[in-house]
Amino acid sequence: MAAIDTLLQKVRRDLRDTGTSDGVDRTWSNQELIDLVNLALVDISRAYPAEVASTVAVPQVYSSSHHTSIALPAGMETVIRIDALAYKIDSTVSPVASWYEALGPLEPANGYGNYSGWEAHGGTVYLQPGMSDLISHLRLIGYGDWTVDTLDAQAEEALRYHIQAEAFFKLMADRTMFQQWQVNSGATDVSVPMINQNYTIARQRYERLLARIRRIRRVS
C-alpha cells in the first residue's frame, strides 16, 4: 500500500470519517484530505525541516582552473555543508570492495576572489576552481521539505494534529459539511461547541509538539 493511502487511513480514523468507499458516505474526499496533507507538510517543514544528505559525482569539467555548478539533489532546499570524497576501489579482494574516503569539508564562499569556495542560489550549487584532483564525489548535507514518503514519527504526529485542526475548523465554518459529518460518523449528538473544543485541543497539541521538536537551522 502506498504511503499516502496508509496516511489517509490514519487521518480518516482521526476525523471519524472512515466510510466504506470514496462516495457520498464520506465527508471529505481523498483529494480534499490530500490538500490538507500538503498544507500541513509545508507548515511543518518551516519549523521542523527534514535533514537531507546526498552524494553526487563531481562534474568532469571541474578542475583546479575551471569552476562549475551542480543542481541541488531532489528534496534538498538548502545546503549547510559539503564534504569532499574520493571514490576508492580494491580489486584485490573478492567481491571487489569500494568505498568513499572522506577528504574533509569544502570551505563555503567568503566573498573574496575566484577561489572562495562554494555558494548555493536558486537550487544550484556553484563550485569555484581550486579543488584537489583527488576529489571524485561530493556529499551534500542540508535541509529539505518533508514528503509523505519521508515523514519521521514526530513529523507525522504533527501532521495529523495539523489536519485535525484544519478539518474541525472547516466543520465549524460549513454547516452543511458539519451535518453531513454528523450523519456519516454517527455523531448526531455532537454539537458545534463540541467540535470547537476538538479543534482547540488539536491546535494546542500541534503547537506544543512543534515547539518541542522545532529545529534550529544550522548555516554553512
My answer on whether 93 and 41 are in the same domain is: no
d(CA 6, CA 11): 9
My answer on whether 44 and 83 are in the same domain is: no
Average pLDDT over residues 50-73: 80
Q: Which of 124, 144, 164 is the last residue of a domain?
A: 144
**Cis amide bond preceding 129, omega within 30:** no
d(CA 99, CA 97): 7
My answer on whether 25 and 72 are in the same domain is: no
Q: Please name which of 199, 212, 217 lies closest in space to residue 46, comparing C-alpha atoms.
A: 217
Q: Three-class SS of residue 103? A: strand
My answer on whether 60 and 118 are in the same domain is: yes
My answer on whether 129 and 155 are in the same domain is: no
My answer on whether 135 and 72 are in the same domain is: yes
> What confidence category does residue 109 fall into, taking pLDDT thresholds of 50, 70 and 90?
confident
d(CA 33, CA 190): 22
* pLDDT in the model for residue 180: 85
d(CA 148, CA 220): 28
Query: Is the pLDDT confidence value at 6 over 60?
Result: yes
Q: Three-class SS of residue 157? A: helix
Q: For residue range 22-38, list pLDDT tens digits in order.
A: 555 688 889 999 999 99
* pLDDT in the model for residue 63: 54
Mean pLDDT (the chain) is 87
My answer on whether 61 and 83 are in the same domain is: yes
pTM over 0.85: no
Q: Which domain holds residue 24?
A: 3-48+148-213
Interior/surface letters 185-209, b for 16+ CB within 10 angstroms, e for the rest:
beeeebeeeebeebbeebbebbeeb
| Burial label, 109 (beta-carbon count in 10 A; 0-12, 13-18, 19+) | middle
Q: Three-class SS of residue 98? A: strand
Q: For residue range 111-170, list pLDDT tens digits in order.
A: 666 556 788 888 899 887 766 777 888 999 999 999 999 999 999 999 999 999 999 999
Residue 183 in domain: yes
Query: Is the pLDDT confidence value at 67 over 90?
Result: no
> What confidence category does residue 58 fall into, taking pLDDT thresholds of 50, 70 and 90?
confident
